[in-house]
A and B are shown apart, each in its own frame.
Chain A
């Protein structure tokens, strides 16, 4: 098991290099760089000064050389500084000679996105499980039909549209919930309890929006998994030997139906991270999605590359955790790994 783990972690390195190479090439093959945005707002910027800017940022070198330089800095976890926002460090805080702390952009944004995604995942699991089980147990009857309908609508509803409608309904018409940002004014002076409830009120809608798609997908998945398992021979055996129906369903069927769910949850991470762009832009939440959107508009290469790398690394870690959890939950898989 330990050997398997080490091997998996070791494999993440070439995979990450591959991911960063693909992202880097795509980024740099597209026309336009920071000088076409930043300098175009400044009428005094001549072609000469733009060229100078490019030299400072190494943008005049061939793409592969730039990638080499970037990779070399990455080896020491140096994500560089932003081109656009006052040279803030991309990843983690730096302290200069005068002792001034300059906080990292991803350092600020990542916990916010993680918070929203972790709460979303918890909500997805807590709701999708019962929905899927009920759906499977009442197959083709009214509850199943209703849940399936909800699933299809959940798949099809555009998140940003629902966000807009809910924002209008709960925030403008009724004033139940705050419509943007992460904290209210005067957040610093609140008691810790008020702080938590304030944050929860702010992330309620974003969490709801970002879990809806996953909710639909996972309940359908649980339903189909349960139905598959319920047709297996060992379930018939369990019933035949007179076990109570509850033991059959929750003891025998559910445990086996849930196994593949672990992998699916691991695979849903890039979607959740990607989906944060829309939710965060609509609700003006300063997370990774918003940061990425702003960076893209400014053609801020170091920030774009930093977020793509961190996002991909999170995905890989998520998949690894899912596989480890799978092995932990299923002795058959564990034995397969050991061999």
Chain B
């Protein structure tokens, strides 16, 4: 943990994520207005001390909507990655531990899934289901587990040949004990790093879907759909388009910095030479 905090990248990422998490968590307390309250007397007001980020075409306070949108973006990102990581760890562990035909079958499935342009697949499924944040989380999760699977499998394959694992096996450890006591804990670092980076790309995918109108539906606010609404008013109300984009940028940047920083700090073999010094 000390090493992580000493890494400037990780620290910056951590600070950004923590700030956004707090804002999202306490959104109802911080938000000056009801995010869905329509006020026809305050349509398209530019940013002012009263409306920090202005108001939208229905007179809703953009700052309040952004705070509640943060909840959606973070929730979708974290749950989707949770699903993907769970699938990836199970399949990767089975594949790397048991090998044989199970391994072949799982790896071929990974090949197939990696060859389909994922965003097309997500788009198709989402359009057929009713767009809701739960469906979005599940679909993003179900289409992004392949990287983790390969990662866990590779770790298991290399760890299985190591002395401490063979020693434990010789002492009569069961499969379960080997997997959960020895192999999995030692594979944790790359899993954590790839999950953190995964949240970043899930946040981007969700905002992209919402932007295309297939994500989070009105009146519920998400950064993507605030931006879509703002698109119509771009000539008279720049603030509607600027702030949600910046928010996505900063959030994704935070997760990427944290992920890369963690990799540098935790992985002695990291190819990023900043950690070698």
Q: Spell out A's residues near B (CB within 8 Å).
A: 15, 18-19, 22-23, 26-27, 30-32, 139-140, 152-153, 155-162, 164-165, 168, 172, 224-225, 227-228, 231, 267, 270-271, 273-275, 277-278, 281, 292-293, 296-297, 299, 304, 307-308, 311-312, 315-316, 319
Contacts and interface: CB of A to CB of B under 8 A. Distances in A.
B242 to A, nearest CB: 8
A164 B112 contact: no
Nearest to B253: A156
A292 B208 CA distance: 15
B211 A278 contact: yes
Interface string B238-277: 1001101100111011001100100000000001111011
10 contacts: A19-B115, A26-B124, A140-B277, A152-B253, A165-B242, A168-B234, A292-B124, A304-B124, A308-B116, A311-B116
A288 to B, nearest CB: 9
B120 A165 contact: no
A27 B272 CA distance: 41
A273 B119 CA distance: 9
Nearest to B251: A156
A15 B115 CA distance: 9
Interface residues of B, number: 48
Interface stretch (B29-37, B45-53, B85-93, B125-133): B125-133
B177 interface: no
Contacts of A275: 119
For A27, A160, A168, A273, the residue with the greatest tally of chain B CB atoms inside 10 Å of its CB is A160
Interface string B213-227: 000000000000001
Contact of B248 (A27, A161, A304): A161
Contacts of B274: 140
A164 B121 contact: no
A27 to B, nearest CB: 6
Interface of B: 108-109, 111-121, 123-125, 127-129, 200, 204, 207-208, 211-212, 227, 231, 234-235, 238, 241-242, 244-245, 248-250, 252-253, 256-257, 260, 271-274, 276-277
Contacts of B118: 270-271, 274
A26 B227 contact: no
A32 B277 CA distance: 58
A152 B98 CA distance: 38
**Interchain residue pairs A-B with the least CB separation, the first 3:** A274-B119, A161-B245, A30-B128
Contacts of A315: 115-117
Contact of B273 (A32, A153, A159, A227): A227
Contact of B125 (A30, A140, A156, A273): A30
Contact of A155 (B115, B207, B248, B256): B256
A94 B227 CA distance: 42
A266 to B, nearest CB: 11
A168 B231 CA distance: 10
Nearest to A17: B112
Given A26-B121, A27-B124, A164-B234, A158 B208 contact: yes
B119 A164 contact: no
B235 to A, nearest CB: 6
A50 to B, nearest CB: 17
Given A18-B112, A165-B241, A293-B212, A156 B200 contact: yes
A162 B119 CA distance: 19
A275 B212 CA distance: 12
A159 B112 CA distance: 27
Contacts of B116: 19, 22-23, 270, 308, 311-312, 315
A261 B195 CA distance: 24
A158 B117 contact: no
A319 B123 CA distance: 24
B112 A15 contact: yes
B149 to A, nearest CB: 15
B129 to A, nearest CB: 6
For A165, A271, A274, A304, the residue with the greatest tally of chain B CB atoms inside 10 Å of its CB is A274
B249 A277 contact: no
A158 B231 CA distance: 14
A315 B256 CA distance: 26
B132 to A, nearest CB: 13
A296 B256 contact: no
A227 B271 contact: yes
A27 B271 contact: no
A270 B273 CA distance: 30
B271 A153 contact: no
A293 B123 contact: yes
Contacts of B121: 23, 26, 308
Nearest to B234: A168
B227 A164 contact: yes
A225 B257 CA distance: 20
Nearest to B276: A231
B212 A277 contact: yes
Contact of A311 (B113, B117, B238, B242): B117
B252 A160 contact: no
For B108, B124, B242, B252, the residue with the greatest tally of chain A CB atoms inside 10 Å of its CB is B124
Contacts of B125: 26-27, 30
B128 A32 contact: yes
A316 B115 CA distance: 7
Nearest to B227: A161
Contacts of B115: 15, 19, 270, 312, 315-316, 319
Contact of B272 (A159, A224, A231): A224
A156 B256 contact: yes
B256 A31 contact: no
Contacts of B124: 23, 26-27, 292, 296, 304, 308
